[in-house]
Amino acid sequence: MEPFMRPLFNVPGVGAFVVAMGLASGYPIGSVLSAKLRREGQLTRGEAERLMSFTNTADPLFMAGAVAVGMFGNAALGGIIMAAHYLGALATGILLRFHRKDDRTPPPPPAARRQGVLARAFSEMLAARQRDGRAFGQALGDAVRDSVQTLLLVGGFIILFSVIIQILTRTGAVAWITSALSLVLGPLGIHHQAIGSLVSGFFEITIGSQAAAQAPVALMERVMLASAIIAWSGLSVLGQVAAVTQGTGVSMVPYVVSRVIHAVFAAVITVLLWSPGAAVPTLAAGRGPAAQLPDFWRILAGSTALLAAALLACAALTTFAAWRERTAA
């Protein structure tokens, strides 16, 4: 995947594995695998920071199951939430490709470049297996042990920040922060309870998404809030990322900036993909009137158009950067 990953995201081909696992598995697998590759010397510091910026994403089961069905009571919203989230992640990765762009692993030697892509991939796989040196049983045991440790880490952070939010709520700190933000965001037409959901989502993604789903605003605004909160991921996930990247030399600053960018992208893409369709009743009682849902084909066409525009913009920027390098030389 080097010919795809390097021009688009300025990371080596091994980053494609992190992309696939991050999109499928959710927080914090993207950062866990990026940190592992960094420790193994397969990524530079800049490449690890760029890779984490768009591969540490929410998983589809959480967005379609927990958020769309469990919180909004409407399975049809899962498509637009996932499309906005993943398109926003890819756009963030393309934008962050210019972060420390000169910090990259050296290209393969000319002899390797003369090989075909598949031949190079196969030889790299054999070399990586020889460097690892573990028997299958040991590798399997290590995988299970690491997975359990990650589960405990994730669960512990969720409990920790849930308790912190309860303490802040009972002491009135959340209400005070919401009131302060209302002075700024209220004149823009943002509802007070919608601002409260953003405050909750700042700390923990699940509680914030639940608050967004229950906010007394229009459906599209609630989905926008949920998309932004899911992309931001909360201080809980940021704490998980800081824990798993400890000792790798990777800075958290680019990752935090990328979360803000991703949140903005996800909210904007939600609006761009939104299309009133047939009125469909919600799945759970008491969730409000029938909602105007986005049409599937409109979402698919809009997603394809946005992705194509992003790819064209990346190609133009890559061509310009290559021209600048040749000119400087």
Please tell me the least confidently modeled range out of 120-129, 139-148, 158-167, 240-249.
120-129
The neighbour count for residue 296, using CB atoms within 10 Å, is 13
Report strand pairing: 279-280 vs 291-292.
antiparallel
Write down the pLDDT at residue 280.
38
The stretch 104-133 carries a mean pLDDT of 75
Residue 2 has pLDDT above 70, yes or no: yes
User: Distance (Å, rounded) from C-alpha 79 to C-alpha 51?
Assistant: 25
Residue 325 has pLDDT above 60, yes or no: no
The stretch 267-294 carries a mean pLDDT of 55
Write down the pLDDT at residue 200.
85
User: Distance (Å, rounded) from C-alpha 180 to C-alpha 177?
Assistant: 5
CA-based torsion, 275, 280, 282, 283: positive or negative = negative
Write down the pLDDT at residue 172.
86
Of 2, 10, 4, give the one whose Cα is nearest residue 97.
10
Q: Could you give the percent of the chain with pLDDT greater than 70?
A: 80
User: Distance (Å, rounded) from C-alpha 279 to C-alpha 262?
Assistant: 30
Of 174, 216, 180, 229, give the one whose Cα is nearest residue 196.
174
The stretch 202-219 carries a mean pLDDT of 88
Residue 112 has pLDDT above 70, yes or no: no
Residue 296 has pLDDT above 60, yes or no: no
Please tell me the least confidently modeled range out of 54-58, 246-250, 312-316.
312-316
Write down the pLDDT at residue 288.
42
The stretch 309-328 carries a mean pLDDT of 57
Q: What does the block give as tokens for 314?
A: 């990346």
- Structural contact between residues 311 and 9, judged by C-beta atoms closer than 8 angstroms: no
Q: Which of the four pLDDT bands, split at 50, 70 and 90, describes residue 259? A: very high
More confident residue, 320 or 106: 106
The stretch 207-229 carries a mean pLDDT of 89
67-106, pLDDT tens digit by residue? 999 999 988 898 899 999 999 999 999 988 888 877 777 7
Residue 211 has pLDDT above 70, yes or no: yes
Chain mean pLDDT for the chain: 80
Write down the pLDDT at residue 290.
39
Q: Could you give the percent of the chain with pLDDT greater than 90?
A: 21
Write down the pLDDT at residue 99.
85
Task: Based on DSSP, count helices (H) and strands (E) in the chain, helices before strands.
Answer: 16, 2
35-57, pLDDT tens digit by residue? 999 988 888 888 999 999 899 89
